Chain A
C-alpha cells in the first residue's frame, strides 16, 4: 500500500534537471520549448529544477565531450536515488554527427546509465514529452 503510494507520487511528480553535455544548443532550445507555456509540462507535475539535489530525472543533450564527462558523472552522483537519465538528441544517444571525433565519448551511456533515449537532430518537443511519458509509463509498470 505504502509502496504503491510512493510509486504514484514518483510517477506524478518528476522534477527534471537539464544538463548540456556538449551539445550544439539545438536540442537545448527544443527542451526549453517543451517547457514553455505552449506544451506546459507542469500539467504532468514536471518542474525544471536548478539543483541536482532536487531533481529526479537528468535530461542530457549532446555527445559527452571528454572535458564534460567528469562533470556529468559528478552531477549524476549528486542526485538522490531513485534517479533516471534521459538522453535527448542523436548526439546524446550515440554521438550523432560527432561520432568518431577525437574529443567525444559517443553518447551519454558511455559515462552514466541511461533509462530512455530520444533520437532526433534536433529532437521535437513532442518527442521529448513522449520519451519522458514512456519513461514514466515504464516506471508505473515496474514493481515498486
Chain B
C-alpha cells in the first residue's frame, strides 16, 4: 500500500503530472501578463485564451527533428537536458504541498532542494560548453558568472526563515507561523523575500538577468545548438523551475500551505500565482543589464541586504529570548 502511495506521490500529485500541467499553466499566465503589460494580447487562439500555448510549444518541439552537431560531445549533449529536468522534478517532490509536510521531508531538506535547484544552472553551463559553438560557449560562461552572482544571496535569503524557525526542514519552516501563531514573521522577512524574488529571477534567467541567453548578442546562449526534444526538455525544465522556485519562495516567506488538503492546495495555487505575478512585473518593468552589472548588483546590494535581514532576525530572536 505504501509503495503505491509513494508511486502516486511521485507520478501524479506533487510529482510529474501535476508539476508539468501546473507549470505550463504558469508559463501561460506569465506570457499573458507580460503581453498585457506591453499593451498586447498574448497567446489567444490555442485553447481558451491561448491557455494551451505552452503545451503546443512543447509538443511541437518533441515531434521535431533532433540534431546533434558534429562537433558536440554526444554523451554530455544528450545527458544535460535529462539531468536538469530530473533535478527540478526531484526538487519539487520536497515541497510541503500536501499537509504542512511532504511525505519525504527530513531535517535538512532545504539544503537538498537548494542543491537540486543549482543543478539546472550547471547543466545549462555544461550543455553550452559541450555543444562547442562560439555563441553557446559565451552563453555558458555567462551562465556560470551569473551563478556566482546570485547563488550566495539566494542561499542567504533562504537562510533567514530557517534561522527564524530554528530548523533546516522546509515543512517546519513553512508551518512555523501556523504552529507558533506568530504571523508577524512574514512582514519582518520582507527584505529577504525581495532578495529571494530577484535571485529567483536570475536563476530563471529572465529579464533583467537574461544576459546568458540574450538573443541580440549571443543568439540562443547555451541552447543555441539544441533542437527538437532536447530543447523541449529544457523548456519544460524552465517552466517547472518557475513553479518549484515560486512555490519554495511561497512556502518559506508567505506562510506555507497549511490548513488541510483542500485549503492547502488552494493556498499552493494562489500563493504560487502571486509570486509568478511579481516575477512577471519585474520582467516587464526592466531592461536587460550587462553581466558585470549583474555581478555588481548582486554583491553590492543583494548580499548585504540579505545580511541585514539576517541581523534583524537574529536580533528579534535574541530580544524574544527564544534563540
A binds B: yes
Residues of A within 8 Å of B64, CB to CB, are 56, 80-82
> Is there an interface contact between B45 and A40, defined as CB atoms closer than 8 Å?
no
Shortest distance between the CB of A16 and any CB in chain B (Å):
13
Contact residues in A for B74 (Cβ distance below 8 Å): none
Say whether B56 contacts A8, CB under 8 Å.
yes
- Docked-complex contact B60 and A53, CB < 8 angstroms: no
Closest to B235 in A: A54
- A137 at interface, CB cutoff 8 A: no
Is the CB–CB distance between B231 and A53 below 8 Å? yes
A44 to chain B: closest CB distance in Å?
6
Stretch at the interface among B119-127, B148-156, B221-229: B221-229
Q: A12-B46, A43-B42 are in contact. Are A50 and B220 (CB under 8 A)?
A: yes
Contact with B along A15-45 (1 / 0, CB 8 A): 0000000000000000000000100101111
In the complex, A42 Cα to B31 Cα: how many Å? 9
Q: Does B65 contact A (CB under 8 A)?
A: yes
Whether A56 and B60, one on each chain, are in contact in the complex, defined by CB atoms closer than 8 angstroms, is yes
Total A-B pairs, Cβ < 8 A: 91
Report A-chain residues with C-beta under 8 Å of the C-beta of B52.
12
A5 to B46, CA, bound (A): 13
Contact flag A80-B65 (CB < 8 Å), given A12-B45, A51-B224: yes
| Minimum CB–CB distance for A130 against chain B, Å | 16
* Distance, CA A40 to CA B43, complexed state (A): 9
Residue A37 contacts which of B39, B46, B60 (CB distance < 8 angstroms)? Answer: B39
Q: Which residues of A contact B44 (CB under 8 A)?
A: 43-44
Distance of B134 from chain A, by nearest CB (Å): 12
User: Given A50-B220, A82-B64, A37–B40 Cβ distance below 8 Å?
Assistant: yes
B57 close to A42 (CB less than 8 A): no
Residues of A close to B315: CB separation below 8 A: none
CA distance A10 to B216 in the complex (A): 26
A80 & B66 in contact (Cβ 8 Å cutoff): yes
A10 CB contacts on chain B under 8 angstroms = 60, 63
On chain B, the residues within 8 Å of A78 by CB distance are 67
Pairwise interchain contact A13-B57, C-beta atoms closer than 8 A: yes
Contact assessment for B63 and A13 in the assembled complex, using a CB-CB cutoff below 8 Å: no
Partner of A45, one of B38, B57, B215, B226: B57
Q: B16 to chain A: closest CB distance in Å?
A: 19
Instruction: Give min CB distance, B273 to chain A, whole Å.
Output: 21
Q: Is the CB of B226 within 8 A of A53?
A: yes
Q: Which residues of A contact B231 (CB under 8 A)?
A: 53-54
Chain B CB count within 10 A is highest, among A5, A53, A81, for A53
Give chain A residues whose Cβ lies under 8 Å from the Cβ of B55: 9
Q: Is the CB of B41 within 8 A of A43?
A: yes
Question: Is the CB of A49 closer than 8 A to any CB of chain B?
Answer: yes
B225 touches A42 (CB 8 A): no
Kindly list chain B residues whose C-beta atoms are within 8 Å of the C-beta of A45: 43, 45-46, 50, 53, 56-57
Expressed in whole angstroms, the Cα–Cα distance for A5 and B60 within the complex equals 9
Q: Is the beta-carbon distance between B40 and A40 smaller than 8 angstroms?
A: yes
- The answer to whether B263 has its CB under 8 Å from any CB of chain A is no
Listed by A's residue number, 20 A-B pairs whose Cβ atoms lie within 8 Å are: A9-B57, A12-B46, A13-B53, A13-B56, A40-B40, A44-B44, A45-B56, A45-B57, A50-B216, A51-B135, A51-B219, A51-B220, A51-B225, A53-B226, A54-B223, A54-B227, A54-B231, A80-B65, A80-B66, A80-B227
- Residues on B facing A (Cβ under 8 Å): 31, 35, 38-46, 50, 52-53, 55-57, 59-60, 63-67, 135, 215-216, 219-220, 223-228, 231
Q: Which residues of A contact B (CB under 8 A)?
A: 5-6, 8-10, 12-13, 37, 40, 42-45, 49-51, 53-54, 56, 78, 80-82
Across the A-B interface, give the 7 residue pairs with the lowest CB-CB distance, nearest first.
A9-B59, A80-B65, A50-B215, A51-B220, A53-B227, A43-B44, A12-B56
